[in-house]
Amino acid sequence: MFITNDIKYIGVNDREIDLFEGQYVVENGMAYNSYIIDDEKIAVFDTVDARFGGEWLANIKAVLGERKPDYLIIQHMEPDHSANINLFAENYPDAKIVASKKAFTMMLQFYGSDYADRQIVVGDGDTLSLGSHELTFVTAPMVHWPEVIVTYDSKDKVLFSADGFGKFGALDADEDWACEARRYYFGIVGKYGVQVQALLKKVAALDIQIICPLHGPVLAENLGYYLDLYNTWSSYGVESEGVMIAYTTVYGNTRKAVELLAKKLEENGCPKVVVNDLARCDMAEAVEDAFRYGKIVFATTTYNGEMFPFMREFIAHLTERNFQNKTVGFIENGTWGLMAEKFMRRMLENSKNLTYTESGVHIKSAMNEENIAQIEALAAELCK
């Protein structure tokens, strides 16, 4: 696949994988992207997952024939991108390996060699000329590993963005970009919003016409849309107006309260209401929704003197990703002791810029008239 006259795609689609990073459901597989710039000097960008080394080498040879690459540029050392460094080095023994200093340390740890006799160590602002293509390297520490670099090609105005702007899904999957890119971002990169903001500022002055990520499609149109979303996500802003309700239930009474709240929110004109049953939904989807919408209601039962385990897990996912800038409401249920809200608040106490609703719902076993009034008050407050 041609990206430009000189830049070709040599990545692979993985339709065998079920869980990415051992935890994220990927029904439509994954893409491991790799690219070649074919100039006076030839550069290959990143490798692919270990299971696809043979296919990747074949893709290189399909582009180059008997010609040999001069450089392998490693932007990110996670094994889904670096696993075939040794394979490349064996097949192209004269090629140089280009990476950050930390990346070479990781190569030794992962693969037993740091290619000391073939290294080109690059840092922020360093350049590499391929002929007509001049590459500039930009360090991107903790986006989302410490060794990461991204690369700008000034001739074709291409940003090779490492894991930035990536998404779940093989390239032949017919699906919305934002949904799976959002789930990917908040699941994998979400903790590092400050670092993503720093990278966005670094590249803001560049004339970028194409973004080539290591997962997901090449982005060549309407780049403002993707950049704006990344800015919103990494600054923990509100992407969509609405209320997300996350709940757990044991015997169905908390669910009934949630269903009534959702109905009342809609009656009050809330633009969007999203409900997630934490015991049954994809937890990564629930995390995505929690960051997407500006308002959230946590609804759960008191369990073992605290809260239901799925709610504890959910809030832990949020707080470790720097959950902030939200309006928060609570529904709690308990038969002999209402403790869930206390422990939910405790888990959220270090989250920044949370505004708690004055209204709350406190159910003892099953809803009564007082609880219905509390739900109506909570809905009205959330829809102001």
* Same domain for 252 and 211: no
Query: How far apart, in whole angstroms, are the C-alpha atoms of residue 225 and residue 230?
Result: 9
Residue 138, domain extent: 7-234
* Bridge partners for 42 per DSSP: 38
Could you tell me if 320 and 200 lie in one domain? no
Do 173 and 244 lie in one domain? The reply is: no
Same domain, 95 and 244: no
If asked whether residues 193 and 245 sit together in one domain, one would say: no
- Half-sphere exposure in the Cβ direction for 257 (13 Å, CA): 36
Main-chain dihedrals φ then ψ at residue 89, nearest 5 degrees: -60, -35
- What pLDDT sits at residue 291? 98
Pairwise CA distance, residues 378 & 362, whole Å: 12
In a domain, 255, yes or no: yes
Assign residue 25 the CATH number of its domain: 3.60.15.10
Is 73 within the bounds of a domain? yes
- 182 shares its domain with 246: no
Peptide bond into 317 cis (omega under 30): no
pLDDT tens, residue by residue, 95-154: 999 999 999 999 999 999 999 999 999 999 999 999 999 999 999 999 999 999 999 999
- In this structure, is residue 96 part of a structural domain? yes
pLDDT tens-place string over residues 341-378 = 999 999 999 999 999 999 999 999 999 999 999 999 99
pLDDT of residue 53: 98
Query: Given the structure tokens 């800038």, which residue do they identify?
Result: 325
Closest to 344 measured CA to CA, from 321, 242, 354, 336: 354
Q: Give a yes or no: residue 105 inside a domain.
A: yes
Q: Is residue 2 part of a domain?
A: no
pLDDT tens readout for residues 292-333? 999 999 999 999 999 999 999 999 999 999 999 999 999 999
Size (the chain), residues: 384
Number of domains in the chain: 2
Q: Is the pTM of this model over 0.75?
A: yes
pLDDT at 352: 97
User: Would residue 53 count as lying in a domain?
Assistant: yes
Q: 62 — phi, psi (to 5°)?
A: -65, -30
81 three-state secondary structure: helix
The residue among 234, 253, 274 that closes a domain is 234
Contact yes or no for 127/135 (Cβ under 8 A): yes
In a domain, 1, yes or no: no
pLDDT over 90, % of the chain = 99
pLDDT value at position 371? 97
From the list 246, 248, 253, the residue with the least C-alpha distance to 365 is 253
Are the beta carbons of 321 and 191 closer than 8 angstroms? yes
Cβ neighbours, 10 Å, residue 182: 25
244 and 229: one domain?
Answer: no
Query: Are 53 and 95 in a shared domain?
Result: yes
Q: Is residue 62 part of a domain?
A: yes
Residues 352, 297 share a domain:
yes
Domain-terminating residue out of 209, 234, 259: 234
CB 247 within 8 A of CB 280: no
Q: Which of 174, 209, 234 is the last residue of a domain?
A: 234
- Rounded to the nearest integer, the mean pLDDT of the chain is 97
pLDDT band at 1 (very low <50, low <70, confident <90, very high): confident
Positive or negative, the Cα torsion across 312, 317, 319, 325? negative
pLDDT of 212-236, one tens digit each? 999 999 999 999 999 999 999 999 9
Query: Are 332 and 338 contacting, i.e. CB atoms less than 8 angstroms apart?
Result: yes
pLDDT at 191: 95
φ, ψ dihedrals at 288, nearest 5°: -55, -50
